[in-house]
Every structure is written in C-alpha cells, then in structure tokens.
Amino acid sequence: MKFQEIVKIVKQDNIATGIYSMWFKSENMAKEAVPGQFVSVYCKEGSRILPRPISICEVDKEAGMLRIVYRVVGKGTEEFSKFNEGDDVKIVGPLGNGFELHEKTALLIAGGIGIPPMLQLAKELKKVEEQKIKEQTEKYNTL
C-alpha cells in the first residue's frame, strides 16, 4: 500500500561529498516498507513538478521512520540537500516491489549510491537467519 504524506524531516546529514542521509517520520510508510522499495520525494520549488525516486536505505518500524541516502545530481536533489531538521516535505511511498527473500544463501553486490538499499536487505536477511537458528535450536532442545 502506498501513501502520500507531508512528512517531517527528523535528521539530515552530509555523510560524504555530495551524499546526504535523511531520516523522516512516517509511521504508515515505515510499517509497510520492505527492502528494495523506494519513495518519491517532491521539490518545494514550483518549477520542478516531477518527484525524485530515492531508494529506502533503512526502516525503523518502532519509531515510524525511514532513511533515504541520496547523491546531489541536479537541482531537485540540490534542493533536498538544503532541507533541515523539522522541515516538511511531500513524499509518496513505499513504491516498487522490493526484494524477494528466499531461504537460500544471499550474496549482496552493489556499488556507489546503489549500496544504501542493501542495508535494510542485510538486516532483514539477518532476521530470517536468526529465526531459522532459533527454530532449529528449539527443535533440538525438545529431543
């Protein structure tokens, strides 16, 4: 399910030259987001009407927050880089199908700005593996 919301920016950091990390509050999006999905971020400046698609890097379901990491490559993302904590921004998401999680060994390969969406995928794969180990441990403890 996708949502269109005006969200509050919780944190914005310049983490490398031209690369920014933004946390924003959206309990609805955080609850629904899966690894590999993205959000569409709208500019406030009226002449840029098309949203910018940005991959979801991290989800904190308990706090109802999402993190995106983006590179400044044009006027839209340059505008985003000037946003501050407490600012409001229009976002639509989560969008896309996301990654399918299988009970197989996963090999994560990414480069550049393609690395951020791998973070949430790695966390979810770790949860799947921990659940598998827990189930096997319980099975053997009952023997």
**Least confident interval from 6-20, 42-56, 73-87:** 42-56
CA distance 77 to 52: 8
Cβ neighbours for 115, distance < 8 A, ≥ 6 positions apart: none
Is pLDDT at 135 greater than 80 in this prediction? no
Give residue-wise pLDDT tens across range 66-104. 999 999 999 999 999 999 999 999 999 999 998 887 777
* pLDDT band at residue 19 using 50, 70 and 90 as cut-offs: very high
What one-letter code names the amino acid at 96?
G
Stated pTM of the model: 0.85
What number of other Cβ atoms are within 10 A of residue 80's Cβ? Answer: 22
What number is the average pLDDT over the span 19-41? 96
* pLDDT band at residue 139 using 50, 70 and 90 as cut-offs: confident
